[in-house]
C-alpha cells in the first residue's frame, strides 16, 4: 500500500556533534542495534540507536539546510516502505513499533557523508573526556 507523502525535514539535537570530527566509527553492535562513535576536541561520544529497521551510509546528493546537523524526516516514504516490507516478511513487531520509529539523517560535513537510519526515537548518547 503506497501512500502519497512528502518527506519534511526538521533539524533536531540528539546530543552529539557531526561537524569537523577528529574520528568517526560506526557499525552494528547486534542484529538490531547500531553504534556510532565520534571524537571531537578530546571528547568521545558513544551513540546507540536501537530497534534499527534499516540504515544506509554514503555521500549525500541532496542539499540540507546545514550539512553539519541532524534532521528528523517527517512523513518518511522510506520508513513506510521498510515497515511494510518487514511486516510482509513476518516481522509483525515492526507494526507495533512504527509509532516509536524515526527516520534520522545525520550529516557529517567533513566528507559530505550522511547516515540515514530508521530506529527507535530514544537515542542514547554518552560522552567522556579523553586524557
pLDDT tens column, 58-113: 887 776 666 788 999 999 999 999 989 988 888 777 666 677 899 999 998 767 78
6 pLDDT tier (thresholds 50, 70, 90): low
4 pLDDT tier (thresholds 50, 70, 90): very low
pLDDT tens column, 14-41: 999 888 889 999 999 887 899 999 999 9
Residue 115 pLDDT: 94
Residue 67 pLDDT: 74
Instruction: State pTM to two decimals.
Output: 0.86
Residue 63 pLDDT: 65
State the average pLDDT over residues 8-15.
92
CA 12 to CA 82: how far, in whole Å? 22
Answer with the residue of higher pLDDT: 95 or 48: 48
Exposure string for 40-69, b = 16+ CB within 10 A, e = fewer: beeeebebbbbbbbbbeeeeeeeeeeebeb
C-alpha cell at 66: 546545514
C-alpha cell at 94: 515492526
State the average pLDDT over residues 115-120.
94
- Label residue 97 exposed, middle or buried (CB < 10 Å: 0-12, 13-18, 19+): middle
- The total number of residues shown for the chain amounts to 131
Amino acid at each position: 500500500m503506497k501512500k502519497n507523502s512528502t518527506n519534511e525535514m526538521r533539524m533536531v539535537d540528539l546530543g552529539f556533534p557531526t561537524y569537523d570530527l577528529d574520528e568517526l566509527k560506526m557499525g552494528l553492535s547486534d542484529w538490531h542495534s547500531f553504534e556510532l562513535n565520534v571524537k571531537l576536541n578530546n571528547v568521545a561520544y558513544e551513540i546507540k540507536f536501537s530497534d534499527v529497521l534499516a540504515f544506509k551510509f554514503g555521500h549525500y546528493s541532496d542539499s540540507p539546510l546545514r550539512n553539519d546537523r541532524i534532521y528528523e524526516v517527517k512523513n518518511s516514504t522510506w520508513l513506510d516502505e521498510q515497515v511494510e516490507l518487514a511486516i510482509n516478511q513476518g516481522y509483525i513487531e515492526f507494526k507495533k513499533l512504527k509509532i516509536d520509529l524515526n527516520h534520522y539523517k545525520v550529516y557529517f560535513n567533513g566528507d559530505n557523508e550522511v547516515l540515514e537510519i530508521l530506529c527507535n526515537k530514544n537515542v542514547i548518547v554518552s560522552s567522556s573526556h579523553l586524557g
